[in-house]
Chains A and B, each alone.
Chain A
Amino acid sequence: MKAYAAAVYAFLYLPIVVLVVYSFNRDGVGGFPPQHWTLDWYRILFADSAMWSAVSNSAIVAFSTVVLSMLIGFPAAYALDRYSFPGKAALQRLVLLPLIVPGVITGISLLLLTVSSGFHLSLLTVIIGHSTALTAVAATEILAGLAKLDRSLEEASADLGATPIQTLTRVVLPGLRTSLLGTALLVFTLSMDEIAVTFFLIGRENTLPLEIWSRLRRGATPEMNAIATLIFLFSVITIFLSQWLMTREVSTQ
């Protein structure tokens, strides 16, 4: 059983190890055994201005997406969790639809809307696409967070004369803080990585995954290993950040 589990973890992590190792390999992608260690690929990468402008485009998109998907996802999740209204089931299905529908379909539907309404493709259309697709993720996570909240605190708040807005800002939102932070980090990571929707909504400026994508189609270079390693490093930092926030939250309660 232990050996089996070890094998599964090897399968999950081996590709990443390979990527990192070969980003320091002078003689290109693959080739066993790796030899001639070098930092050249990182040097080339850091001098690659197209890559870094793609990184900054991605950061702009991801930040905007986090803000928008929280602004849309929180009220939607709150309404779905706490109120009943006509069409609720249909609305819930619609909001969560992008979770199960292939990104290609969400992408082309929004492309049709953009073109039909006479707008041009730009980072703005990418932001709209990401926010629409990732609101489903945000809403799911926030719904799970809301389900864990202690309802009696809200009832007590209302009994003590708080208005619904006061209860929301002083009881519900603070109680959800960890869940909201975790959701924001997850949405940020997913947006930084999104390709399928972006593919159809991108204008002249590339996001990071699309820049990498277009270069991969021309052929793999070890510079790709270097950027992939940095992306991996960034993901690991994000994970530890979210873990740290969670444990800090638990210990202060």
Chain B
Amino acid sequence: MTRARLVTLLPFAWIALFLFTPYCLLFCYSFWSLDAGQQVIRHATLANYLHLATTPLYFTVILRSMRIAFSVVSLSLLIGYPLACFLVFHAGKYRRILYQAVIIPLWISYLVRAYAWKVIFGNEGVLNTLLLWCHAIPHPLGFLLYSPFAVIVTLTHIYVPFVVLPVVASLEKIPHELIESSSDLGATAWQTFTRVILPLSLPGVLSGATFAFLLSFGDFLAPLLLGGPSSVMIANIVANLFGADYNWPLGAAVAVLILVMVLVIVTITQRLERRWRSA
């Protein structure tokens, strides 16, 4: 065996050991259970999945996570899509630097940015004290922090660049002649947008939206830091079952459920994307 072959073996050994095996182990654990002494019984049972299916709490939390993720994606698109259009069609000579300015926040610590929103939204926070200072409100607004609202704003702030970048990439691919000929043939700016630009940018929208959706759906830090009890998300349940609520097999079952949902969503969007690209 040559040296070159050995070098390529390292990544495959690593991936097999630290990626494939752990996922398999997770799958196994989800069929195991705990005995009265909190010891793991390695005997296959469907009890965890039955528990998930019959306890409304899990359904509620999954639904809430999807709702929060959906709000984040919608807001990110509302904010990000026009910005991408601006960058590609109107930014002129500042385009490069403005594009960089969208990327920079991606490099800045997630924790730092989430914490910044805590500073802004707190009862003694910047926003409340600012509003009190200019007598816009009589009391601090309590609903800002520790609510789904704070979680959604924070996650939107984090995922806007994830939406902007692929949309910019797909807008850049639209040939200029196409847009020019559309207006030459008498289409209004709005018609050109809805009939030419928007359809051709859909693959970028889809890939940005998928990323933002999946990452917000599986987030557990923003709800812990900024959300109250009313914004517990599904990943928090997993983290709790692997922490204070100690029940690893049940936690593994919830994790497998998340994994399956993620894979289903990715498969669907990939199919859609391929269809739109070929159309």
When the two chains form their complex, are residues A105 and B259 in contact, meaning their CB atoms are under 8 A apart?
A: yes
Q: How far is the CA of A199 from the CA of B116 in the complex (A)?
A: 21
Residues A235 and B82 in contact in the complex (CB < 8 Å), given A9-B101, A29-B125, A164-B4: no
Stretch from A47-55, A107-115, A151-159 contacting the other chain: A107-115
The answer to whether B255 has its CB under 8 Å from any CB of chain A is yes
The answer to whether A67 has its CB under 8 Å from any CB of chain B is no
Partner of B111, one of A32, A132, A195, A243: A195
Partner of B15, one of A8, A76, A105, A224: A76
The answer to whether A206 has its CB under 8 Å from any CB of chain B is no
The answer to whether A212 has its CB under 8 Å from any CB of chain B is yes
**Which residues 216-253 of A sit at the B interface, judged by CB distance below 8 A?**
216-217, 220, 224-225, 228, 231-232, 235-236, 238-239, 243
Residues A108 and B119 in contact in the complex (CB < 8 Å), given A1-B86, A235-B107: no
How many A residues, CB 8 Å from partner?
A: 78
Chain A residues contacting B22 (CB-CB under 8 Å) are: 106, 109-110, 112-113
When the two chains form their complex, are residues A110 and B221 in contact, meaning their CB atoms are under 8 A apart?
A: no
Residues A108 and B238 in contact in the complex (CB < 8 Å), given A19-B115, A216-B115, A239-B104: yes
When the two chains form their complex, are residues A231 and B112 in contact, meaning their CB atoms are under 8 A apart?
A: yes
Chain A min CB distance to B164 (Å): 9
When the two chains form their complex, are residues B242 and A12 in contact, meaning their CB atoms are under 8 A apart?
A: no
Chain A residues contacting B14 (CB-CB under 8 Å) are: 68, 72, 131-132, 135
The answer to whether B129 has its CB under 8 Å from any CB of chain A is yes
Residues A32 and B133 in contact in the complex (CB < 8 Å), given A103-B218, A216-B225: yes
Stretch from B23-31, B54-62, B180-188, B192-200 contacting the other chain: B23-31
The answer to whether A16 has its CB under 8 Å from any CB of chain B is yes
Chain B residues contacting A94 (CB-CB under 8 Å) are: 15, 19-20
The answer to whether B214 has its CB under 8 Å from any CB of chain A is yes
Give the residue among A12, A14, A28 with the most B Cβ atoms within 10 A.
A12
Chain B min CB distance to A103 (Å): 7
Residues A97 and B19 in contact in the complex (CB < 8 Å), given A75-B10, A236-B104: yes
When the two chains form their complex, are residues A111 and B266 in contact, meaning their CB atoms are under 8 A apart?
A: no
Interface digits, A189-215 against B, CB 8 Å rule (1 contact, 0 not)?
A: 100110110011000000001001100
Chain A min CB distance to B72 (Å): 14
Chain B residues contacting A68 (CB-CB under 8 Å) are: 14
The answer to whether A71 has its CB under 8 Å from any CB of chain B is yes
Query: Which 6 A/B pairs are nearest by Cβ-Cβ distance?
Result: A102-B218, A109-B22, A15-B116, A32-B130, A32-B129, A30-B125
Q: List 26 A-B contacts (CB under 8 A).
A: A2-B86, A4-B82, A9-B101, A13-B105, A22-B119, A30-B125, A76-B15, A91-B12, A100-B211, A102-B215, A104-B235, A108-B238, A109-B26, A109-B255, A110-B18, A128-B18, A196-B220, A209-B111, A212-B115, A213-B111, A224-B115, A228-B109, A232-B108, A235-B108, A236-B104, A239-B107
Known A9-B101, A195-B221, A220-B115; further 17 A-B contacts with Cβ < 8 A: A5-B91, A8-B80, A11-B160, A12-B102, A19-B112, A29-B122, A30-B129, A76-B11, A94-B15, A94-B20, A102-B218, A102-B235, A105-B218, A131-B14, A164-B4, A235-B104, A235-B109
